């Protein structure tokens, strides 16, 4: 059965492993991620995760059968640098991903050492807390060209019929300076409104995404677009399918509008 694809806003740092106000600030996001597996046609055989927190010169695939952890954040409690998400890797899927990328004429590489970064494990912990679904992580390509990442998604589309759930993990608004100085509310609202209008209809969606910098408040929402590019992969892998908002809140961390989207 064909799996949908998702662009997920993944929240800040190691929030699933924290308590108190910071964890509570992610309550709506956590509930959406916990509910996601029940919306799928069947339990995935594996997950292909494209995280905003990994960039390489070629699209690089994690090949380890037992990936470790990458604590790519700072300033959090000591225990968050010891947490583990013990999902197995899937070397066979990794090789399938490399083959699909290369068949599309795109550059591919392998990495046997990379561990799960927080863009990956912070979405996976609420979804599959038992870590019982194999996970392969895939990098973005440096240069962050939208067309390249849409093309990557198109190349990966056959995996949807092979039991693989494709997840793009980033954030619909990612400007930490504006987020923390209280100036992010208006640009996050404006850019989110553009996403809500641009993503549902498949006709012309790729063209709209390639021209994302023309959207209202685009460069305020994404001063650097690495947190938006996983959306291009998810949309490219479901190019003919309608999109819908799967998570939305207007007060993330005290004032940011944030969303996630499903395709197919």
DSSP 204-244: THHHHHHTGGGSTTHHHH-SSGGGTHHHHHHHHTTTTS-EE
CB 28, CB 260: distance < 8 Å:
no
Which H/E stretch holds residue 93?
helix 91-103
E-strand ranges in 57-211 read 59-62, 108-111, 135-141, 164-170
Strand partners, 140: 55
Q: Model pTM greater than 0.95?
A: yes
Q: Can you give the pLDDT at residue 254?
A: 81
Q: Which two tokens stand for residue 163?
A: 């039991």
For residues 127 and 6, the answer to whether their CB atoms sit within 8 Å is no
Q: Using CA atoms, how far apart are residues 51 and 113, in angstroms rounded to an integer?
A: 16
Domain range summary for the chain, segments of one domain joined by +: 5-263
Using DSSP's 3-state secondary structure scheme, residue 137 falls into strand
Quote the crossing angle between the two packed helices 91-103 and 146-156, to the nearest 10°: 120
Distance from chain centroid for Cα 182: 25
Give 8-21 pLDDT, tens digit per residue.
999 999 999 999 99
**What distance in Å separates the CA atoms of residue 263 and residue 5, rounded to the nearest whole number?**
5
The topology (CATH level 3) of 5-263 is Protocatechuate 4,5-dioxygenase; Chain B (3.40.830)
- Integer-rounded Cα Rg, in Å, for the chain is 17
Q: Helix (H, G, I), strand (E, B), or coil: what is residue 114?
A: coil
Buried b (16+ CB within 10 A) or exposed e, 236-264: bbbbebebebbbbbeebeebbbbbbbbbb
For residue 244, what pLDDT is reported? 98
Nearest Cα to 47, choosing from 174, 131, 164, 198? 164
pLDDT tens series, the chain, 264 aa:
999 999 999 999 999 999 999 999 999 999 999 999 999 999 999 999 999 999 999 999 999 999 999 999 999 999 999 999 999 999 999 999 999 999 999 999 999 999 999 999 999 999 999 999 999 999 999 999 999 999 999 999 999 999 999 999 999 999 988 988 889 999 999 999 999 999 999 999 999 999 999 999 999 999 999 999 999 999 999 999 999 999 999 999 889 999 999 999
Say if residues 152 and 233 touch (Cβ distance below 8 Å): yes
Count CB-CB contacts under 10 A for residue 102.
14
CA distance 33 to 21: 19
The phi, psi pair for 207, rounded to 5°, reads: -65, -40
Residue (of 132, 166, 124) closest to 30 by Cα position: 124
Q: Do 105 and 59 form a contact (C-beta atoms < 8 A)?
A: no
Residue pair 9/263 in contact by the 8 Å Cβ criterion: no
Q: Write the pLDDT tens digit of every residue in 52-85.
A: 999 999 999 999 999 999 999 999 999 999 999 9
């Amino acid at each position: 059965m064909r799996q949908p694809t998702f662009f997920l806003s993944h929240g800040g740092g190691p929030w699933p492993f924290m308590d108190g106000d910071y964890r509570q600030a992610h309550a709506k996001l956590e509930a959406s991620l916990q509910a996601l597996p029940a919306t799928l046609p069947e339990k995935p055989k594996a997950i292909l995760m494209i995280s905003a927190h990994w960039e390489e010169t070629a699209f690089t695939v994690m090949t380890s059968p037992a990936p470790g952890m990458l604590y790519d954040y700072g300033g959090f409690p000591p225990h968050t640098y010891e947490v583990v998400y013990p999902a197995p890797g899937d070397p066979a899927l990794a090789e399938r991903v490399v083959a699909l990328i290369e068949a599309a004429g795109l550059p591919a590489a392998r990495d046997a050492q990379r561990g799960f970064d927080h863009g990956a494990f912070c979405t996976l912990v609420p979804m599959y807390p038992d870590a019982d679904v194999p996970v392969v992580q895939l990098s973005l390509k440096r240069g962050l060209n939208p067309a390249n990442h849409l093309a990557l998604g198109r190349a990966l589309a056959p995996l949807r019929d092979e039991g693989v759930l494709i997840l793009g993990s980033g954030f619909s608004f990612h400007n930490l300076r504006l987020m923390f100085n209280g100036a992010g509310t208006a640009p996050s609202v404006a850019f989110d409104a553009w996403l809500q209008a641009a993503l549902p209809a498949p006709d012309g969606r790729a063209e709209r995404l390639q021209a994302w910098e023309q959207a209202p408040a685009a460069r305020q929402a994404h001063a650097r677009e690495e947190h938006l590019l996983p959306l291009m992969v998810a949309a490219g892998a479901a190019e003919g399918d309608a999109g819908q908002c799967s998570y939305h809140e207007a007060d993330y961390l005290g004032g940011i509008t944030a969303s996630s989207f499903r395709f197919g």
